Amino acid sequence: MEAFDIGIIGGGPAGYTTALYYAKQGKTVVLFEKDYVGGTCLNKGCIPTKAFLHIADLYSELKDADKLGVNFENLNIDFDKIKEYKNNVIIKLRKGLELTLKNAGVKVVYCCAEMVTKNKIKTETDEYTCSEIIIATGSKPKEIKGLEYDHKFILSSDDILEIEKLPKNILIIGSGAIGIEWTRILSSFGVEVTIAELADRLCPLADWEVSKRIERQFKMKKIKTYLSASVSEITDKKVTLSDGTILEPECILVAVGREVNKYNNNINAKIIGDASSEIMLAHYAVSQAKELALNIPFNKNIIPSVIYGTPEIAWVGEVSKSKEDDEKYDKSMLLISALGKAHCDNKTDGFIKILAKDGHIKGASIISPEASALIQQITIAISNDLSINDLKKVCFAHPTYSEGIMEGIMAL
Ligand code: NAI
C-alpha cells in the first residue's frame, strides 16, 4: 500500500490546483482522475466553448468587415475544421497540465477511486494511505423531468460540444451562462435560435439593465425569446411551451444549471470545487484550493461572473434587480460609445454600471469588449476595500476600455 501526505479524488481545477499547491510545499500528493485531468472546465466546459466562441466572433466580424474596407468573397465555415480546432486547444492544454503535474511530482492515477476511511482511498486494484483526503469530484449537467437527455434530440451542454453538424434551428432552455454563450455561438454560425427562460428576464442572475441589453441585442439578431416560459410537453419532436406555443426545433439544448456528482461522504471529507455545492465556477474552485492548501482566504461574496461572446458580459458584487433597487445606491452609468477605443474597434455597444454606497463600490455590471478583464479592476477594488477617493487617484491608460471605469468612478 502506497502512502502519501495528500490524496485528492477528482482532477478538475479544484483537484489539480490543490495538488499543485500542496506539492509545491514539498508534500507527497496522489491525484485520482477517472477521465481526463482538467475536468469539466478544460474538457467539456470553459475551454471548448471559448474556442468555439472565438471562431464564432471571428466569423461574425469578418462578415461585417466590408463596412471597414476589408472584403471577403465566399466567406463560409467548415464545421469539421472548427471542431478540430476546438479539440486541438483541449489536447494542447491537457498535455501542458499533465506535464505540469508530472514536473511538480504529483502522482496521477487514472481510475475511479473511493474514499473508504478517513485515511484510505481504494481503487479497483490498489489501496492508498493518505494523511489528508480531499474530494473534488465536480458536477454534471442538471436533468429535469420531461427533458431527459436522449443525446440526439434533447442535448446536454456536454452533447452540444460533440454535434456532427450544425442544426438549422435549435431551442435552448435556460438563459444562464451556458444558454447565452451557446445562443451567441450558434446564431453567429447562422443557426436559428429560440430561447425559453423560466424567469421573467434573460440572464436573471445579472443586473436588470444587463438583461434588458441582452434582450435588445438578441432581438436585433432575430433570436426569439420566450420569458416566464418552460416546456410543458414534448411529443414526436413537437415542443409545447407553458404558454401553449408549439415549436418544432431540430434539437433542444437544456441549460438549466448543473448538479453535484453524487458522492458518498459519510466519512466527512473536505470537499471543494463544484462538488462542494457552493458556486459552480472554475475560478471559485481555484480560490477554494488556495484557501485550503495555502491558507489564503477569499471573500466568497466578491466572485466575478463572466459570460463570453460579443460583447462580453461581466459583473461582481451586488447587482440591482430592478429600477427601484437602483435607488439604494449611488449609481454611475457609462456608455461604451463614449470611449474613443470603442469607436476605433467598431464595438460601441455596452455600458459600465457601478453601484456604490458610503464612498465604496458595492458592485459593477459591464457589457463591453474586454469586460472579463475590466471586471477584475472592480473585483480588486472591492476585495481590498479601496474607497472611491482612492480609486480617483489612479491613472488609467488611453485609449482603453478601462477609461470607462475611470469615468464611472469620477461620476460617483
Ligand atoms: P445557470 O444556473 O447559470 O442558468 C440556468 C437558467 O435556466 C436560469 O436562468 C434559470 O432561470 C433557467 N431555468 C431553470 N429551469 C428552467 C426551466 N425548467 N425552463 C426554462 N428555464 C429554466 O446554469 P447554466 O447556464 O446551465 O450553467 C451551469 C453552471 O456553469 C453555472 O454555475 C454557470 O455559472 C457555469 N458556467 C459558467 C460559465 C462562465 O463562467 N462563463 C459558462 C458556462 C457555465
Residue 389 backbone dihedrals phi, psi, to 5 degrees: -65, -40
Mean pLDDT, rounded, for 206-211? 98
Nearest Cα residue to atom 24 of ligand 1:
257
- Grid look-up 479524488 returns 9
Buried b (16+ CB within 10 A) or exposed e, 136-165: bbbbbbbeeeebeeeeeebbbbbbbbebee
pLDDT in tens, 218-276: 999 999 999 999 999 999 999 999 999 999 999 999 999 999 998 777 788 899 999 99
The helices-and-strands tally (H runs, E runs) of the chain is 12, 22
Dump the DSSP string for 190-201: T-EEEEE-SSSS
Grid cell, residue 259, equals: 448538479
307 lines ligand 1 (CB under 6 A): yes
- Tell which one of 40, 149, 198 to mutate to probe ligand 1, the residue whose CB is within 8 A of the most ligand atoms: 198
Instruction: State the chain's mean pLDDT as an integer.
Output: 97
Mean pLDDT, rounded, for 13-26? 98
Q: CA-to-CA distance for 187 and 224, rounded, in angstroms?
A: 11
336 within 8 A of 401, measured Cβ to Cβ:
yes
CA of 7 to the centre of ligand 1 (A): 31
CA of 177 to the centre of ligand 1 (A): 6
| Alpha-carbon distance values, 51 to 5, 89, 339, 382 (Å) | 37, 7, 28, 31
Q: What percent of the chain has pLDDT over 70?
A: 100
User: Do strands 305-307 and 29-32 pair parallel, antiparallel, or not at all (unpaired)?
Assistant: unpaired
Ligand 1 atom at minimum distance from 178 CA: 25
304 lines ligand 1 (CB under 6 A): no
In single-letter form, the type of residue at position 186 comes to: L
Enumerate domains of the chain plus CATH numbers. 2-140+259-294 (3.50.50.60), 154-256 (3.50.50.60), 305-410 (3.30.390.30)
